Structure 1
Amino acid sequence: MVRRLREERGLSQEDFAALTGHHRTYVGFLERGERSPNIETVERIALALELRASDLLREAGY
Protein backbone atom coordinates (compact mmCIF):
# COMPACT_ATOMS: atom_id res chain seq x y z
CA MET A 1 0.00 0.00 0.00
CA VAL A 2 2.82 2.41 0.81
CA ARG A 3 4.45 1.55 -2.49
CA ARG A 4 1.25 2.23 -4.43
CA LEU A 5 0.74 5.59 -2.70
CA ARG A 6 4.40 6.53 -3.25
CA GLU A 7 4.24 5.62 -6.92
CA GLU A 8 0.94 7.49 -7.39
CA ARG A 9 2.76 10.61 -6.23
CA GLY A 10 5.63 10.00 -8.63
CA LEU A 11 8.22 9.55 -5.92
CA SER A 12 11.21 7.26 -6.31
CA GLN A 13 12.08 5.07 -3.37
CA GLU A 14 15.18 7.21 -2.76
CA ASP A 15 13.24 10.48 -2.81
CA PHE A 16 10.57 9.02 -0.55
CA ALA A 17 13.21 7.73 1.86
CA ALA A 18 14.77 11.19 2.03
CA LEU A 19 11.38 12.74 2.81
CA THR A 20 10.79 10.29 5.64
CA GLY A 21 14.32 10.47 7.04
CA HIS A 22 14.89 6.76 6.54
CA HIS A 23 17.25 4.76 4.37
CA ARG A 24 16.00 3.46 1.01
CA THR A 25 16.47 -0.14 2.11
CA TYR A 26 14.22 0.41 5.14
CA VAL A 27 11.54 1.85 2.86
CA GLY A 28 11.84 -1.30 0.75
CA PHE A 29 11.38 -3.46 3.84
CA LEU A 30 8.23 -1.49 4.74
CA GLU A 31 6.83 -1.72 1.22
CA ARG A 32 7.33 -5.50 1.15
CA GLY A 33 5.83 -5.91 4.63
CA GLU A 34 9.10 -7.20 6.07
CA ARG A 35 9.14 -4.54 8.80
CA SER A 36 6.40 -2.87 10.80
CA PRO A 37 6.75 0.87 11.36
CA ASN A 38 6.48 2.47 14.78
CA ILE A 39 4.08 5.39 15.26
CA GLU A 40 6.78 7.99 14.55
CA THR A 41 7.56 6.32 11.23
CA VAL A 42 3.85 6.16 10.38
CA GLU A 43 3.67 9.92 10.95
CA ARG A 44 6.74 10.54 8.76
CA ILE A 45 5.33 8.38 5.98
CA ALA A 46 1.97 10.13 6.18
CA LEU A 47 3.61 13.56 5.96
CA ALA A 48 5.71 12.48 2.98
CA LEU A 49 2.53 11.24 1.26
CA GLU A 50 0.65 14.40 2.23
CA LEU A 51 -1.85 12.43 4.29
CA ARG A 52 -2.92 12.41 7.91
CA ALA A 53 -1.55 9.47 9.87
CA SER A 54 -5.11 8.36 10.63
CA ASP A 55 -5.91 8.29 6.90
CA LEU A 56 -2.79 6.25 6.21
CA LEU A 57 -3.72 3.76 8.91
CA ARG A 58 -7.28 3.56 7.60
CA GLU A 59 -5.93 2.90 4.09
CA ALA A 60 -3.88 0.07 5.59
CA GLY A 61 -6.99 -1.43 7.17
CA TYR A 62 -6.51 -0.35 10.79
Structure 2
Amino acid sequence: MSLFELQGQERLDKFCTILRQLGQALGKRVAMYAEGTDERYPPILAYEVDQDRVVFLAGPWRV
Protein backbone atom coordinates (compact mmCIF):
# COMPACT_ATOMS: atom_id res chain seq x y z
CA MET A 1 0.00 0.00 0.00
CA SER A 2 1.21 3.48 -0.82
CA LEU A 3 1.00 6.26 1.75
CA PHE A 4 -0.72 8.30 -0.94
CA GLU A 5 -3.68 5.92 -0.64
CA LEU A 6 -4.21 6.90 3.00
CA GLN A 7 -6.14 10.01 2.06
CA GLY A 8 -9.00 10.79 4.41
CA GLN A 9 -10.03 9.55 7.84
CA GLU A 10 -12.16 6.67 6.54
CA ARG A 11 -9.26 5.04 4.65
CA LEU A 12 -6.87 5.62 7.54
CA ASP A 13 -9.36 4.02 9.95
CA LYS A 14 -9.68 0.97 7.69
CA PHE A 15 -5.92 0.61 7.40
CA CYS A 16 -5.48 0.91 11.17
CA THR A 17 -8.12 -1.80 11.61
CA ILE A 18 -6.09 -4.10 9.35
CA LEU A 19 -2.90 -3.38 11.34
CA ARG A 20 -4.75 -4.08 14.58
CA GLN A 21 -6.25 -7.35 13.34
CA LEU A 22 -2.84 -8.55 12.13
CA GLY A 23 -1.17 -7.57 15.39
CA GLN A 24 -3.79 -9.30 17.51
CA ALA A 25 -3.68 -12.44 15.37
CA LEU A 26 0.13 -12.58 15.49
CA GLY A 27 0.39 -11.39 19.07
CA LYS A 28 3.10 -8.91 18.21
CA ARG A 29 3.85 -5.43 16.89
CA VAL A 30 3.05 -4.71 13.24
CA ALA A 31 4.95 -1.81 11.74
CA MET A 32 4.48 0.09 8.47
CA TYR A 33 7.58 1.48 6.78
CA ALA A 34 7.74 3.97 3.93
CA GLU A 35 7.93 2.33 0.52
CA GLY A 36 11.47 1.68 -0.63
CA THR A 37 13.04 1.83 2.83
CA ASP A 38 14.48 -0.91 4.97
CA GLU A 39 14.85 -1.45 8.69
CA ARG A 40 17.55 1.22 8.95
CA TYR A 41 14.73 3.77 8.84
CA PRO A 42 12.08 3.99 11.56
CA PRO A 43 8.53 2.84 10.82
CA ILE A 44 5.82 5.41 10.18
CA LEU A 45 2.92 3.65 11.91
CA ALA A 46 2.79 0.65 14.19
CA TYR A 47 0.21 -1.41 16.02
CA GLU A 48 1.46 -1.85 19.58
CA VAL A 49 0.10 -5.03 21.16
CA ASP A 50 0.70 -3.92 24.76
CA GLN A 51 -1.23 -0.68 24.15
CA ASP A 52 -3.82 -2.26 21.80
CA ARG A 53 -3.64 0.73 19.47
CA VAL A 54 -2.00 2.07 16.34
CA VAL A 55 0.55 4.81 16.99
CA PHE A 56 2.01 7.42 14.67
CA LEU A 57 5.79 7.24 14.90
CA ALA A 58 6.98 9.67 12.22
CA GLY A 59 8.08 13.05 13.53
CA PRO A 60 7.26 16.45 12.08
CA TRP A 61 8.71 17.39 8.70
CA ARG A 62 11.87 19.44 8.87
CA VAL A 63 12.96 21.75 6.08
Q: TM-score, normalised by structure 1?
A: 0.31
Q: Which has the greater radius of gyration?
A: 2
More strand by share: 2
Q: TM-score, normalised by structure 2?
A: 0.31
More helix by share: 1
